[in-house]
Copies of this chain bind each other. A is one copy, B any other.
């Protein structure tokens, strides 16, 4: 399936992780930069270097506000890039950090962000090996943006990917959906919502290691921008399968569900920053769920769906009312600057 880029200017939707992002990546960057490593779908590139099997990834963080309940832009930048390595099956080794700072930014805030990066890196077992700082004139950036790139090592024999997914496989998520996106949205304070939400930002290395130790894992992903719906649409398209979700099985906190309902947002499209989606062979599925639930970050893990052969490329949701509907990729950007 080829996606064309028809727009003349870049819009917020191009950064939202859904259909427009895909059009930008597949319609502009991939044709220009064409090489076998640059995949529009993979969170990390895999490459062989000097006998080692490496994963390499990058992500820029523009979240607003910089400090929110449950985290900071710094923790997000570490955990997000660590997780892009982890879901590729890699053990994260080192990160780089590149800052764009607006002139006049408080040094105390910068110190707090650097400290949160350091703490998150320790928790995830990675070092920040290289950094760079650029400053732009007042009014030419919004406080601070952080890019992190990440390097990891992939076990020699591990194979993961959408093309390995088969009908009958089970879809697991490691916990509740939508916490990060809704927490950031509420933290901006322009909604009159008085609700206690926290970002779920966390490193997924222990959850992934537990799953891989069980075996039978075909595919892992962290459902960030665009949420679970977008991640599963990408899986269905790339794996040439259907994904059937069970609405009643989707774990969503009451507060998140209530906030989503008030704002007319579907938690399936809301970004998560500490959740793992995995597709596991049916014979390993119960052990996989138990392995996730045995860890603090996986206590709310659940089966949420199954892989089916048809209709190829679609995500279907069996609703709590007994019906069934198609769940499309994210269109537009209901939640800009969430990561």
Binding site for B on A (CB under 8 A): 5, 7-16, 21, 24-25, 28-29, 32-35, 37-38, 42, 44-45, 47, 49-54, 56-62, 93-94, 96-108, 110-111, 114-115, 117-118, 121, 127-137, 139-142, 145, 147, 149, 151, 153, 336-337
Q: Report B-chain residues with C-beta under 8 Å of the C-beta of A50.
A: 50-54, 153
User: What are 27 A-B contacts defined by CB distance under 8 Å?
Assistant: A7-B107, A10-B105, A10-B107, A10-B135, A14-B101, A16-B135, A24-B133, A32-B111, A33-B97, A33-B114, A38-B128, A45-B94, A45-B129, A49-B94, A49-B151, A50-B50, A50-B53, A56-B94, A58-B130, A58-B131, A59-B132, A60-B132, A60-B147, A98-B98, A139-B139, A140-B142, A149-B149
Given A37-B94, A50-B51, A129-B38, A12 contacting B60 (CB threshold 8 A): no
Q: Are B100 and A29 in contact (CB under 8 A)?
A: no
Out of B9, B103, B145, B147, name the residue touching A12 (CB < 8 Å).
B103
Q: How far is the CA of A56 from the CA of B110 in the complex (A)?
A: 23
Q: Assess whether B98 is in contact with A128, with CB atoms less than 8 Å apart.
A: no
Complex contact A107–B142 (CB within 8 A): no
Which A-B residue pairs are the 4 nearest by beta carbons? A15-B135, A50-B52, A149-B149, A58-B96
Q: Is the CB of B100 within 8 A of A9?
A: no
Instruction: Please determine whether B107 and A44 come into contact, CB atoms closer than 8 angstroms.
Output: no
User: Once the chains bind, are A57 and B107 in contact (CB under 8 Å)?
Assistant: no
A101 to B172, CA, bound (A): 34
Residue contact A29 to B131, C-beta cutoff 8 Å: yes
Complex CA–CA separation, A131 to B38 (angstroms): 8
Compute how far the CA of A56 lies from the CA of B96 in the bound complex, rounded to whole angstroms.
8
- Give the distance in Å from the alpha carbon of A139 to the alpha carbon of B135 in the complex: 16
CB distance from A223 to the nearest CB of B (A): 16
B residues near A336, Cβ cutoff 8 Å: 135-137
Q: How far is the CB of A162 from chain B (nearest CB, A)?
A: 17
Tell me the complex Cα distance, A128–B10, Å. Answer: 22
Quote the shortest CB–CB distance from A115 to chain B (angstroms).
5
**Beta-carbon contact of B47 and A93 below 8 Å:** yes
**A128 contact from B28, B33, B59, B99, Cβ within 8 A:** B33
Contact check, B103 vs A33: say whether CB atoms are below 8 A apart. Answer: no
- A110 contact from B10, B45, B133, B135, Cβ within 8 A: B10
Which residues from B are CB-within-8-Å of A32? Answer: 111, 114-115, 117-118
- Which residues of chain B have C-beta atoms less than 8 A from A62's C-beta? 100, 134, 136
Q: Is the CB of A94 within 8 A of B9?
A: no
Q: With the chains together, A129 CA to B57 CA distance in Å? A: 8
From the candidates B38, B147, B337, name the one contacting A147 in the complex (CB within 8 A): B147
Whether the pair A129, B47 counts as a contact (CB closer than 8 A) is: yes
- Nearest chain B CB to A267's CB is how many angstroms away? 22
